[in-house]
Amino acid sequence: MSVAQSEPLTDADAPAAFIDLERYPLTAPDSAGYVRVIEDARGRLAQSALLALPGFLSAHGLRRLREDARALEPRAHRSVKQSNPYNVPVTDDMPDDHPARILSTTERHGVAYHDMGGTAMAALYRWAPLGRFVADVLGLRQVHLHEDPSNALVLQIYKPGDQLAWHFDRAHFSTILQLQKADEGGYFEAAPNIRSEGDENLEGVHAILSEKREPPFRGRSEPGTFVIIFGRNCLHRVTRVIGEHARISLILSYEEQPGMKLDAKTRKLFFGPDAPDDP
């Protein structure tokens, strides 16, 4: 299969050009405008565990990242699996109404970081002011780039019929750029803070999974929106995509500690047999 090539990076592709700097002044971290954005973002994230920053990408940035997405799509690895929200095996000692016994399906296409060399996406991910912005919103001294050669940056393509199963994230936080909406479906549904470190709230989780209770949040972000989610205690999914156009997003993985990466077996499970082995 022939694979389209991403457009070569030019001076116009400096990552700063991808961001609406008037609205989100990432290159002026000492400015009053930057401080206001950070304070507002922190407050909203603390209140809801979900933060959506619309219009984060400039028109040029959104167009350029979509060009990358079109060029990279033939490299996407399709994965299909059924899982429970904890991604753990079901054991005999679990009661019949344990939410781990309720499975849902993931069908999606993903392009891994190891296939993104020389792209605008990779340049934006490595751009220091974006990492500093994420750290400032989260109230951290700094964040580190994820060191996995495949999972650090992932282009998620939900084609018609695809969906993401109900799950909790392993990471404390996730950062996502929305690039394209589906024609229909492809909703992000979530129950933020449905559990805590001291209370798994199995009854509440079961109610969502068994559709006895509606998830508190349901929405579709506009393309160009930057999202931060506290996903470890947030039950969430992406509903089935309907229509001709895929739902496309870019997952940028930042870590609180350096050196984080997947083991080779998990990497190949997620991204296919051609994913790199550990050095």
Residues 211-269 have pLDDT tens digits of 999 999 999 999 999 999 999 999 999 999 999 999 999 999 999 999 999 988 888 88
Q: Write the burial class of residue 92 (CB in 10 Å: 0-12 exposed, 13-18 middle, 19+ buried).
A: exposed
The CATH number of domain 11-271 is 1.10.580.10: no
Quickly count: other Cβ atoms within 10 Å of residue 196's Cβ.
10
pTM: 0.92
Contact 19, 26 (CB under 8 A): yes
The ranges assigned to domains in the chain are 11-271
Distance CA 130, CA 225 (A): 14
Residues 46-63 have pLDDT tens digits of 999 999 999 999 999 999
Q: Which long-range contacts (CB under 8 A, 24 or more apart) does 212-218 make?
A: 215/189, 215/190, 215/191, 216/190, 216/191, 216/192, 217/48, 217/50, 217/188, 217/189, 217/190, 217/191, 217/192, 218/187, 218/188, 218/189, 218/190
